[in-house]
Amino acid sequence: MLSRRSAFKAAAGIAAAGTFAITEAAHAADKVVKVGMDLSLTGADAESAARVGNGAILAFEDANKYAEVPGIKFDLVKFDDGTATAGQYDPAQAATNARKMVSDKGFIAALGPQMSGAGKAMSPILSEGNLAIITPSSTNPDITDPKFAAQYRPKGKAVYFRTVTTDAYQGPNMANFLAKTVGIKSVYILDDSGAYGVGIADSFERRCKELGLNVMGRDRLDPKAADYSAVLTKIKSLNPDALYYGGVGQAGVKLAKQVYEILPKIIKAGGDGIYGVELLKGAGFPAADGWYASNASPHKDEGDKKIKEFSDRFNARFKGSPDDYTLTMYVAARAIIETVKVLQAAGKPVTRDTVRDGLQNVRMANSLIGPVEFDENGDLKNKVISVFQVKKDAAKPLDNMDDQFAYVGIAPMS
């Protein structure tokens, strides 16, 4: 009879041997490369962060399952840039995450962040480490603008890639749309004080003035305040044709509710910050009805077989429907996989330096969001701004984006 101690030793020995054997057999030659993913998993954007992140999870799970790149296993490591104190993304936390990724040579590339404020904090650190990141949704133009290269990419090479177009096009193209397609003459502009909101509202305002629209005023909202009735009452007294809101859902859903109460007839529009489930769930109908929203990517076309197949796969894995930014995240992850595949096939080493250079030249002619190529600043070459409008479809689920946001078309280019 074994004594208790020797029984334990024997069991431990068998377990250890077993684990060793399995690891050896399955991953004998596999090299594990890490890909960091920075999202705002805590706070106000937690739910959309999860939906976006799932796009990358799906891409890497499939690549690993089907051994798409022979000899390479991808390890997706999640980082959270949201903090409870900020209640949403926190640039300081994003910077910390970037430092963690840069200091570990195992990371060959990164995905994220969702928010431009986080991107501004991360980009200089990533540049120092020459670690490329692809953002699925941060659209502030400054980060990739060569004018600010000294600030955001001190090492010179582009490290901040995007699978979305920037606000440099989102704001102005929406102004074109409102002036030329809808036919407004005057507008009042609000922003939510964030890097994204101010940037997009600024570019919208500039274009409005070029188009000769009457910009009746500009105000800044406190995203944590509950009540915007005073500023909306002021707008009501000025009686503009349209209201433009640059900002994200935090202030946006409250604004939508109160706009409906105070300015029920006004034409209202925003950027991709309000293009999301949050407007439908948080503001609800009838308040959400009629809002125009732009998105800095081509729209996933329901008729497209590829996208249908992706949505089904996504739904089977995560029980929910993907956002457009789930698609851009998936495509961003695919860009990394493609790059690594090319490197591996050419027999080149897979390091962060080779991956960065590879991304610069990656060509995906037929991705879920159309052709993907990056210019020398990291921006997407294919610049398309889609416009949507909330149109209540009572027969369908009221919180499903695809059912309630009607695709209007592509906004006129400047």
Partner 1 sequence: MTSGDLFLQQLINGLNLGAMYSLLALGFTLVYGIMELINFSHFNVFMVGAFIALGVLKLMGMDGQTVILSGLPLIGVILVTFVVTMFATGMIGVGIERVLLRPLRAVTGPAAMILTIGVSYILFNIILIGVGGDTRNFANPLPSITWAFGGANLRLRDVLIWFIAIVLMLGLTYFVQYTKLGKGMRATAQDPEAARMMGVEVDSVVGLSFFIGSALAGASGLIFGLYYNYAKVDMGFSAGLRAFTAAVLGGIGNVPGAMLGGVLIGLIESSSSQLIGQAWADVIIFSILVIVLVFRPAGLLGRQAPNKS
CA gap 331, 278 in Å, rounded: 23
Nearer to partner 1, 25 or 84 (CB): 84
Contact between 291 and 279 under an 8 Å Cβ cutoff? The reply is yes
In this structure, which amino acid lies at residue 86?
A
Q: Minimum Å distance from CB 225 to partner 1?
A: 5
Q: Minimum Å distance from CB 192 to partner 1?
A: 10
Residue 194: CA atoms inside 13 Å, Cβ hemisphere, count?
29
Dump strand ranges (E) for 181-310: 186-191, 214-220, 242-246, 267-270, 292-295
Euclidean distance between the first and final Cα of the chain, in Å?
A: 85
Q: Minimum Å distance from CB 28 to partner 1?
A: 41
Q: Minimum Å distance from CB 276 to partner 1?
A: 10
Nearer to partner 1, 365 or 395 (CB): 395
Tell me the helices (H) and strands (E) count for the chain, helix number first. 14, 14
Nearer to partner 1, 26 or 226 (CB): 226
Nearer to partner 1, 229 or 361 (CB): 229
Q: Minimum Å distance from CB 219 to partner 1?
A: 5
Contact between 158 and 136 under an 8 Å Cβ cutoff? The reply is no
Question: Nearest 10 degrees: CA dihedral of 140, 60, 381, 128?
Answer: 60
Q: Minimum Å distance from CB 88 to partner 1?
A: 8
Q: How far is CA 304 from CA 42, 221, 310, 368, in A?
A: 34, 39, 10, 9
Nearer to partner 1, 172 or 194 (CB): 194
In this structure, which amino acid lies at residue 298?
P
Q: Minimum Å distance from CB 179 to partner 1?
A: 25
Nearer to partner 1, 78 or 220 (CB): 220
Produce one character per residue of 327-355: b if its CB has 16 or more CB atoms within 10 Å, e if not. bbbbbbbbbbbbbbbbbbeeeeebebebb
Nearer to partner 1, 34 or 220 (CB): 220
Report the SS3 class of residue 110.
strand
Q: Minimum Å distance from CB 234 to partner 1?
A: 5
Nearer to partner 1, 239 or 361 (CB): 239
55's tokens:
């796009």
Q: Minimum Å distance from CB 244 to partner 1?
A: 16
CA gap 238, 375 in Å, rounded: 43
Contact between 114 and 136 under an 8 Å Cβ cutoff? The reply is yes
CA proximity to 386, closest of 330, 333, 334, 325? 325
Q: Minimum Å distance from CB 47 to partner 1?
A: 5
CA gap 233, 341 in Å, rounded: 57
In this structure, which amino acid lies at residue 245?
Y
CA proximity to 388, closest of 270, 303, 263? 270
Nearer to partner 1, 205 or 338 (CB): 205
Nearer to partner 1, 134 or 287 (CB): 287
202's tokens:
């600024």
Nearer to partner 1, 278 or 323 (CB): 278
251's tokens:
């202030």
Q: Minimum Å distance from CB 311 to partner 1?
A: 21
Contact between 31 and 350 under an 8 Å Cβ cutoff? The reply is yes
Q: Which residues bind partner 1 (CB under 8 A)?
A: 42-48, 84, 87-88, 193, 219-222, 224-231, 233-234, 236-237, 239, 249-250, 253-254, 257-258, 261, 277-278, 281-287, 398
Report the SS3 class of residue 133.
strand
